[in-house]
Amino acid sequence: MRLLMIGRLNGELITASKICMQRGASVTQADAVPQGLNVLRARGADLIMIDVGLPIRELVTALEAERIRTPVVACGVSADASAAVAAIRAGAKEYIPLPPDPEMIAAVLEAVATDRAAFVWRDPSMERVVKLAEQVARSEASVLITGESGTGKEVLARHVHQKSNRAGKPFVSVNCAAIPEALLESELFGHEKGAFTGAVARRIGRFEEANGGTLLLDEISEMDVRLQAKLLRALQERVIDRVGGTAPVRVDIRVLATSNRNLAEEVRKGTFREDLLYRLNVVALRLPPLRERPADIIELATHFARKYAAVNGMPVRPLSPEARTLVLKNPWRGNVRELENTLHRAVLLASGDTIGPEAILSPDGETFAAEGPAARAAQVAEAATRGLVGRTVAQVECDLILDTLDHCLGNRTHAARILGISIRTLRNKLNEYVSAGLEVAEPGSVRTSVACG
């Protein structure tokens, strides 16, 4: 783990730095925010610790402007609660009082460590996937990991990295669906000062940040086909060109990629390059959905129950037999991610010595119906169908897209995943609706009016 410490070194900060190094972090020090930004542009970091006396808001604003997504933790010798509040309001994720408590620093490092996602499995279908993953981990072959959203593709990618010869080097993940098309090239390959508006200084991209280690291209199917050509060259020649740069940069990386789409089908549609698919798909790992891994459901549920009991300072309670039955019956369309959220809720809502079925609730607070998923689906389908008669397909599609965006509080990436369309297609649809005078939810909000004709 790479830690950047910003502030003039005194006794307390030196002690904090030593504790971090004892916990396995490599520490780089900068005296002030401008020097810290230069370090981030040139080397990257997994976590920033900054003296509370420095301009934290200035740092956070600069990070946002340059799209550097590194968490910030403030630290200071002041016992004044107002200092901690001011730091959090300025954009820091946490405040650590100095002199440092080793356990508190260890907890912060653990929270942002690249291997923080536990890899838990027991089902035979997963055993076969993991065995193949570990068999190829020490090679330099590119690996393509496919599966539905929420099945644990990134967790498996981290496992491959940890079992590889590059385990001691960086693991860098890029979500190709979460970054706007116009910015993804700079995010991957970096840019030179003045390459475009907002490029205030040279910045290395994720390829250079991952040098010597592993680069994960998450949801690569969402990448624009024009950028795929530049990516293909980088994979073939291990050479990249920064945006606005004149000299090629050599990189030494191992590339993993994930997709929740059938890339062979995307090739047929013309949205994904066939030669890039061959380059990525040296080894293919398919993660089965959670509903096809019954032994994993109970194992993961037990793991999440323990995890969130510890996180929330609550007693560890097992699932009751009735709760286990409900958990096994649910189809888990959101896969491991949905199961994790459900068990987190259950830990908070449970009473007594076990987690009972009354604590296994949906996000809306509804209990999982005893009659099983088929009956529930039939009821929902019947109610939905009654409201469709007399409407055009375009009107129904508009309602579906805008309602889903409301449900996701304006988050385009999450909405596109739920709808099963690319982020590019979603943006085009939303632009059409805005041009037609319809209200579209902005990130972090919902519509105040709803009308699709």
| Interval 352-362 mean pLDDT | 91
pLDDT score recorded for residue 168: 84
Residue 18 confidence (pLDDT) above 60: yes
Q: Quickly state the pLDDT bin for 238 (edges 50, 70, 90).
A: very high
For residue 155, give the 3-state DSSP assignment. helix
| Interval 316-333 mean pLDDT | 93
What's the full length of the chain, in residues? 453
pLDDT (tens digit, 9 = 90+) per residue, 135-166? Answer: 999 999 999 999 999 999 999 999 999 999 99
Among 6-20, 97-111, 146-160, 230-244, the minimum mean pLDDT is found in 97-111
Q: Report how far residue 137's alpha carbon sits from residue 145's, in angstroms, rounded to the nearest whole number.
A: 13
Q: Report how far residue 249's alpha carbon sits from residue 328's, in angstroms, rounded to the nearest whole number.
A: 51
pLDDT score recorded for residue 215: 96
The fold of the 1-112 domain, in CATH, is: Rossmann fold (3.40.50)
Residue 88, token pair as written in the block: 């959090």
Residue 114 confidence (pLDDT) above 50: no
Name the class of domain 290-357: mainly alpha
Q: Report how far residue 151's alpha carbon sits from residue 177's, in angstroms, rounded to the nearest whole number.
A: 17
- Taking alpha carbons only, the member of 10, 73, 22 closest to residue 45 is 73
pLDDT (tens digit, 9 = 90+) per residue, 239-289? Answer: 999 999 888 999 999 999 999 999 999 999 999 999 999 999 999 999 999
pLDDT (tens digit, 9 = 90+) per residue, 181-236? Answer: 878 999 999 999 888 877 888 889 999 999 999 999 999 999 999 999 999 999 99
CA torsion, ordered 425, 431, 434, 436, to nearest 10 deg = -90
Residue 8, token pair as written in the block: 């003039």
The fold of the 124-284 domain, in CATH, is: Rossmann fold (3.40.50)
Domain with CATH 1.10.10.60 in the chain: 377-434
Find all residues with CB under 8 Å of 65, minimum gap 6, and list them. 198, 200
pLDDT score recorded for residue 401: 92
Q: Report how far residue 134's alpha carbon sits from residue 132's, in angstroms, rounded to the nearest whole number.
A: 5
Q: Determine phi and psi for 177, rounding to 5 degrees.
A: -85, -20
Ranges of beta strands (E only) in 184-309 are: 214-218, 239-240, 249-250, 254-259, 283-286
Q: Of 22-26, 107-111, 323-327, 418-422, which has the strongest mean pLDDT?
A: 323-327
Find all residues with CB under 8 Å of 76, minimum gap 6, and list them. 51, 52, 53, 83, 87, 95, 97, 98
pLDDT score recorded for residue 116: 47
Burial of 447 (0-12, 13-18, 19+ CB in 10 A): middle
Residue type, 202: R
Please name the helix (run of DSSP H) or strand (run of DSSP E) that holds residue 257, with its range, or none: strand 254-259
- CATH code: domain 377-434 is 1.10.10.60
pLDDT score recorded for residue 217: 96
Residue 372 confidence (pLDDT) above 70: no
Residue 374 confidence (pLDDT) above 70: no
Using CA atoms, how far residue 346 sits from 43, 293, 296, 356, 430, in Å, is 41, 21, 18, 8, 36
The overall average pLDDT reported for the chain is 86
pLDDT (tens digit, 9 = 90+) per residue, 204-219? Answer: 999 999 999 999 999 9
Residue 103, token pair as written in the block: 């356990």
The DSSP bridge pattern shows strands 171-175 and 143-146 to be unpaired
Find all residues with CB under 8 Å of 122, minimum gap 6, and list them. 295, 296, 299
Using CA atoms, how far residue 39 sits from 31, 34, 140, 326, 453, in Å, is 11, 9, 29, 51, 53
Residue 267, token pair as written in the block: 């090739």
Residue 115 confidence (pLDDT) above 50: no
Please name the helix (run of DSSP H) or strand (run of DSSP E) that holds residue 250, with its range, or none: strand 249-250
Domain with CATH 3.40.50.2300 in the chain: 1-112
* Residue with tokens 């994993």, as numbered in its chain: 296
pLDDT score recorded for residue 377: 52
Residue 333, token pair as written in the block: 């369309």
Please name the helix (run of DSSP H) or strand (run of DSSP E) that holds residue 94, with its range, or none: strand 94-97
